[in-house]
């Protein structure tokens, strides 16, 4: 379930904010990469929670990361149509997922040690 949710989120973020990226072209590859990651049950639960309770923040994080990496203007269209451009977008999405998981773990650990 979480993989479909991650793919839908990826599709929505890129479609809405980066229309020059042919998102459909990368969805199968993204799905294969997510399946190969084999997130454990705890990570899957965290991903589902992030997407249900903090989806806006997660989306903004990926958008900011992507926007900071991809050039502006005409170079952006060229970048997205380049084979490496799509791979970079997927890599950044995976990085964003993993940063979100790490952030969630850090919050849990800090709450345990602070007594809250």
**Residue showing tokens 């979100």:** 100
In tens digits, what is the pLDDT along the chain, a chain of 116 residues? 789 999 999 988 888 777 877 788 888 899 999 999 989 999 999 999 989 888 888 888 888 888 888 777 777 777 777 767 778 888 989 999 999 999 888 887 777 777 65
For the whole model, what pTM was predicted? 0.84
The rounded distance, in Å, linking the Cα atoms of 99 and 106 is 10
Report yes or no: 15 and 59 within 8 Å, Cβ to Cβ.
Answer: no
Query: On the CB side of 5, how many CA atoms lie within 13 Å of its CA?
Result: 16
At residue 83, the pLDDT reads 67
The rounded distance, in Å, linking the Cα atoms of 115 and 107 is 12
Residue 116 burial by Cβ neighbours in a 10 Å radius (0-12, 13-18, 19+): exposed
């Amino acid at each position: 379930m979480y993989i479909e949710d991650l793919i839908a989120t990826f599709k929505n973020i890129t479609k809405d904010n980066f229309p020059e990226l042919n998102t459909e072209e990368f969805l199968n590859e993204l799905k294969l990469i997510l399946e190969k990651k084999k997130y454990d049950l705890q990570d899957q639960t965290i991903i589902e929670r992030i997407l249900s309770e903090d989806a806006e923040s997660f989306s903004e994080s990926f958008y900011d990361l992507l926007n900071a990496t991809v050039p502006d203007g005409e170079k952006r269209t060229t970048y997205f149509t380049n084979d490496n451009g799509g791979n970079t977008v997927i890599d950044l999405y995976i990085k964003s997922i993993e940063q979100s998981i790490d952030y969630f773990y850090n919050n849990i650990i800090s709450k345990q040690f602070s007594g809250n």
